[in-house]
């Protein structure tokens, strides 16, 4: 036992006060409850600690004169930090009974309990101290001012630690629930708004907040690379979707930019900017605006939340990318085929009674345009088409891109009239100083009750579209069972044509062209023929459109060009220097470097360019004039002739003829059939007169009778072609025919 005498009371008071931490600015007092049936004890306690601060906070004393009063007061004030509790009051164990009720009934485990008794014999057992979580036990006479200060300081530290643990647990539970909710978001903007609301809830402040991201996370429509506000709430609501660098010099912007630059959380006077790193480099910053954010939250917990939230944001970005890949067209940002099918599915499941229609819109000859100008121009054209189509759509119409150059529109029938949508594409597209004209073909489907799914409806639309494209450019067809049957037949025909080409079962025949005045043979037209497996000839008007629609015509046309040139060269070697006319399709003309391919074929075949003539229709020439006309000019510069086939059946005009500058006009056989004697021939006469005026040679095809010949000669037609002179012939019969003609002329 120590013989040291206790210091005088005043000394002990000085020691106690000097031992206390430096007082911080006045803050919320510690609530201290004195439960004692002796009022003098409560008064002495208040007197002893008057003006004292512990752990930087003053003390607030509450009094209850009995265990029952203490229970009632604690029910009303669960924030009490320390209970100075008399053991013996109404009963010998009233204090312990109160502790049991406080821990059990009220569930208050944070308040620290210091038992006080004036009767040492009533000390609680060790088990009771352990079971009731009692912080200390003192004889009242021992609680001098210094001792009381020491005991309360220890108890308040314990209370503070428990409060911090409970706050951390509450924060963790809150943040765990918040992250679970945030993970359910399937869009980054939705995730961002949820995060801002959860942050405001964590700090218990109004949701004045911003979520900013790099362009890689949410790129600008114009491809900009700056950061921007993806979501904004509260007083920042009108900042949403704005570029960060367009918001001017603001403290919030400075804090956000600093968080991006330093890749850490930044606490500023106007709020906190929380940095959310991304594994993909698409970092984000969440800014919570508040002049005085509470500092009660463990920064480590907040940091953990921020890091986990950053991982969740990457997950949401992945979900967005997967959803985009599944439902959004990457080039035009329109819904894709899958999204359109789901839209139609919903319309089938919940019909409104309104007549609905699907239109498939296919850009004519787009692949050739893309090959000519390259992918960059082609992509720009597709984006331009998407914008024009969207300009026609209202909220009731869904526009989608379902294939490379095929778009779709689904909605009420009256809003989907093909003519109106076709006219929208008539004006040329201005792309990088090029004026490129486009046209479209349409396949339509009326939504009816027997449609089983959106996917089936789209397939029906494709059947109708194929039918339209087989008819020609700018055509429209609607689905029917007859159309489906026809498409199957055309598909079978295409397979057979591919097989025949691969097995070299296609061949050329040649029909002579004669001078109208002398009857002398001046040229030949090369005509493609196909003999099927059963030996029958498949009519050209059946398989040529199929070849054009499928793109196979490019291969067939190239083969025909080379074969015709070789035949003309062989005939020249045999003494027959005749002009060889070869039909050329739009697909061939749009092949990049077509004029170079022709020059190579002439060189390989050994034929002078002036003995080759290409035949095109006027509609082909004017379909994409920026592409076609320069190629025609290049061919003419080489010496190759150009003839306009089927003249008068298209949209002829003097201005288009001037632009094409052909060498020859071919009168369509439909204008020749009505000729005979002195009657008829009005259109043929007009074409012949037009040719004479423009200095062009005019040739009439389909001449089958002598009266037709005589009438054409009388009108001044220059050249004739038809069965009256000779049918199309293979190479050997042609040579015999030419020899016979030469012998007859001699």
Give tens-digit pLDDT for 371-412. Answer: 878 889 999 999 999 999 998 888 889 999 999 999 999 999
Residues of the chain with pLDDT > 90, as a percent, come to 28
Of residues 512 and 694, more confidence is placed in 512
By the 10 Å C-beta count (0-12 exposed, 13-18 middle, 19+ buried), 367 is classed as middle
Question: What confidence score (pLDDT) does residue 224 get?
Answer: 45
Alpha-carbon distances of 567 from 159, 161, 310, 561, 575, rounded to whole Å: 106, 102, 73, 10, 12
- pLDDT band at residue 186 under the 50/70/90 scheme: low
Q: For the domain bounded by 9-167, which CATH number is listed? A: 3.40.50.2300
Question: What confidence score (pLDDT) does residue 232 get?
Answer: 87
Alpha carbon distance 358, 340 (integer Å): 10
Question: What confidence score (pLDDT) does residue 503 get?
Answer: 84
Of residues 288 and 178, more confidence is placed in 288
Superfamily of domain 504-745: EAL domain (3.20.20.450)
* pLDDT average, residue stretch 532-554: 83
Contact 640, 613 (CB under 8 A): yes
pLDDT at 297 exceeding the cut of 90: no
* DSSP 8-state symbol, 268: E
Superfamily of domain 184-327: GAF domain (3.30.450.40)
- In tens, the pLDDT along 208-224 reads 888 888 755 444 444 44
Question: What confidence score (pLDDT) does residue 572 get?
Answer: 95
Alpha-carbon distances of 688 from 578, 619, 682, 683, rounded to whole Å: 23, 20, 10, 9
- In tens, the pLDDT along 159-185 reads 877 776 666 665 555 555 555 555 555
In the block, residue with structure tokens 């090029």: 434
Question: What confidence score (pLDDT) does residue 623 get?
Answer: 67
* pLDDT average, residue stretch 191-207: 77
- pLDDT band at residue 746 under the 50/70/90 scheme: low
Of residues 197 and 557, more confidence is placed in 557
Q: Name which of 257, 225, 254, 230 is nearest 241 in CA terms.
A: 230
* pLDDT average, residue stretch 17-28: 47
Question: What confidence score (pLDDT) does residue 372 get?
Answer: 79
Strand blocks (E) in 365-419: 398-401, 406-412
* pLDDT average, residue stretch 132-155: 77
Strand order in the sheet with 57-64: 53-54, 57-64, 30-35, 82-86, 112-117, 136-139
- In tens, the pLDDT along 344-375 reads 988 888 888 888 999 999 998 888 788 878 88
Q: Name which of 442, 318, 312, 343 is nearest 389 in CA terms.
A: 442
Specify the fold of 337-479.
Answer: Alpha-Beta Plaits (3.30.70)
- In tens, the pLDDT along 493-536 reads 888 888 888 888 899 999 999 999 999 999 999 999 998 888 78
Alpha carbon distance 432, 200 (integer Å): 49
- pLDDT band at residue 151 under the 50/70/90 scheme: confident
- In tens, the pLDDT along 443-459 reads 999 887 667 788 889 98
CA dihedral 499, 505, 506, 512 (to 10 degrees): -170
Question: What confidence score (pLDDT) does residue 622 get?
Answer: 66
Q: 10 Å Cβ neighbour count for 167?
A: 14
* pLDDT average, residue stretch 481-502: 80
Contact 593, 404 (CB under 8 A): no
Among the ranges given (76-80, 203-207, 314-318), the one the predictor scored with the smallest mean pLDDT: 314-318
| H or E, element range at 221 | none
Question: What confidence score (pLDDT) does residue 132 get?
Answer: 66
Of residues 628 and 120, more confidence is placed in 628
pLDDT at 1 exceeding the cut of 50: no
- In tens, the pLDDT along 55-89 reads 888 999 999 999 889 899 999 998 898 998 888 88
By the 10 Å C-beta count (0-12 exposed, 13-18 middle, 19+ buried), 678 is classed as exposed
Question: What confidence score (pLDDT) does residue 215 get?
Answer: 59
Question: What confidence score (pLDDT) does residue 217 get?
Answer: 47
- pLDDT band at residue 730 under the 50/70/90 scheme: very high
pLDDT at 576 exceeding the cut of 90: yes
* pLDDT average, residue stretch 267-295: 80
Question: What confidence score (pLDDT) does residue 388 get?
Answer: 92
pLDDT at 680 exceeding the cut of 60: no
* pLDDT average, residue stretch 327-349: 88
Contact 529, 544 (CB under 8 A): no
Contact 210, 252 (CB under 8 A): yes
Contact 648, 618 (CB under 8 A): no
pLDDT at 157 exceeding the cut of 50: yes
- pLDDT band at residue 24 under the 50/70/90 scheme: very low
Q: What rounded mean pLDDT belongs to the chain?
A: 81
Report the relative pairing of strands 612-617 and 664-667 from DSSP bridges.
unpaired
In sequence order, what are the residues at sequence separation of 6 or more whose Cβ sits closer than 8 angstroms to the Cβ of residue 561?
A: 582, 584, 597, 598, 601
Among the ranges given (45-54, 171-180, 395-404, 595-604), the one the predictor scored with the smallest mean pLDDT: 171-180
- pLDDT band at residue 468 under the 50/70/90 scheme: confident
CA dihedral 282, 288, 289, 294 (to 10 degrees): -150
Domain definitions of the chain by residue range: 9-167, 184-327, 337-479, 504-745
pLDDT at 158 exceeding the cut of 90: no
Of residues 256 and 551, more confidence is placed in 256
Residues of the chain with pLDDT > 70, as a percent, come to 81
Contact 560, 507 (CB under 8 A): no
């Amino acid at each position: 036992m120590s013989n040291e005498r206790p210091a005088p009371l005043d000394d002990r008071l000085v020691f106690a006060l000097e031992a206390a931490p430096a007082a911080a600015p006045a803050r919320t007092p510690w609530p201290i409850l004195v439960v004692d049936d002796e009022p003098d004890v409560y008064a002495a306690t208040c007197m002893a600690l008057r003006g004292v601060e512990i752990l930087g906070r003053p003390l607030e004393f509450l009094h209850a004169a009995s265990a029952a009063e203490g229970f009632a007061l604690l029910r009303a004030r669960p924030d009490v930090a320390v209970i100075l509790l008399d053991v013996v009051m109404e009963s010998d164990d009233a204090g312990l009974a109160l502790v049991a009720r406080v821990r059990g009934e009220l569930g208050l485990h944070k308040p620290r309990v210091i038992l006080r008794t004036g009767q040492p014999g009533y000390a609680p057992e060790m088990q009771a101290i352990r079971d009731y979580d009692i912080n200390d036990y003192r004889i009242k006479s021992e609680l001098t001012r210094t001792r009381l200060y020491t005991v309360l300081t220890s108890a308040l530290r314990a209370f503070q630690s428990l409060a911090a643990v409970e706050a951390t647990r509450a924060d963790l539970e809150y943040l765990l629930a918040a992250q679970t909710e945030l993970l359910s978001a399937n869009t980054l903007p939705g995730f961002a708004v949820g995060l801002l609301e959860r942050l405001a809830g964590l700090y218990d402040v109004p949701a004045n907040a911003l979520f900013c991201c790099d362009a890689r996370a949410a790129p600008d429509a114009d491809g900009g690379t700056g950061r921007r506000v993806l979501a904004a709430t509260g007083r920042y609501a009108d900042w949403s979707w704005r570029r960060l660098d367009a918001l001017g010099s603001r403290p919030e912007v400075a804090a956000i930019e600093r968080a991006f630059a330093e890749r850490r959380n930044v606490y500023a006077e106007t709020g906190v900017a929380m940095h959310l790193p991304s594994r993909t480099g698409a970092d984000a910053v969440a800014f919570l605006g508040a002049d005085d954010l509470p500092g009660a939250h463990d920064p480590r917990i907040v940091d953990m939340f921020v890091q986990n939230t950053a991982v969740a944001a990457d997950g949401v970005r992945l979900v967005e990318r997967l959803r985009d890949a599944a439902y959004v067209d990457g080039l035009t940002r329109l819904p894709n085929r899958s999204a359109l099918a789901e839209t139609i599915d919903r319309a089938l499941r919940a019909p409104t009674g309104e007549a609905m229609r699907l239109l498939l819109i296919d850009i004519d000859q787009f692949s050739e345009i893309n090959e000519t100008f390259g992918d960059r121009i082609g992509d720009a054209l597709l984006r331009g088409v998407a914008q024009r189509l969207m300009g026609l759509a209202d909220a009731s119409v869904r526009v989608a891109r379902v294939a490379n150059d095929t778009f779709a529109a689904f909605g009420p029938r009256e809003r989907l009239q093909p003519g109106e949508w076709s006219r929208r594409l008539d004006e040329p597209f201005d792309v990088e100083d090029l004026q490129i004209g486009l046209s479209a073909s349409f396949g339509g489907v009326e939504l009816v009750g027997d449609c089983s799914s959106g996917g089936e409806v789209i397939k029906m639309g494709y059947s109708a579209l194929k039918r339209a494209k087989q008819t020609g450019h700018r055509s429209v067809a609607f689905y029917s069972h007859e159309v489906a049957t026809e498409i199957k037949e055309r598909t079978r025909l295409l397979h057979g044509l591919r097989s025949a080409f691969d097995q070299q079962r296609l061949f050329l025949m040649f029909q002579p062209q004669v001078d109208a005045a002398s009857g002398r043979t001046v040229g030949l037209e090369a005509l493609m023929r196909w003999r099927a497996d059963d030996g029958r000839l498949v009519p050209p008007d059946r398989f040529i459109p199929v070849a054009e629609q499928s793109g196979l015509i490019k291969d067939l046309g190239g083969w025909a060009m080379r074969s015709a040139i070789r035949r003309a060269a062989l005939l020249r070697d045999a003494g027959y220097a005749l002009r060889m006319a070869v039909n050329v399709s739009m697909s061939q003309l749009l092949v990049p470097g077509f004029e170079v391919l022709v020059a190579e074929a002439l060189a390989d075949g050994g034929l002078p360019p002036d003995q080759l003539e290409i035949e095109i229709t006027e509609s082909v020439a004017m379909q994409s004039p920026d592409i076609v006309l320069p190629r025609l000019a290049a061919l003419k510069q080489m010496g190759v002739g150009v003839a306009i086939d089927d003249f008068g059946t298209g949209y002829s005009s003097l201005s288009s003829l001037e632009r094409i500058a052909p060498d020859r006009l071919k009168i369509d056989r439909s204008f020749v059939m009505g000729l005979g004697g002195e009657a008829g021939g009005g259109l043929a006469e007009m074409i012949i007169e037009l040719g004479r005026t423009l200095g062009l040679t005019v040739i009439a095809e389909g001449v089958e009778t002598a009266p037709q010949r005589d009438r054409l000669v009388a009108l001044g037609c220059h050249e004739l072609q038809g069965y009256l002179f000779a049918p199309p012939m293979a190479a050997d019969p042609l040579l015999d025919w030419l020899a016979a003609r030469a012998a007859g002329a001699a």
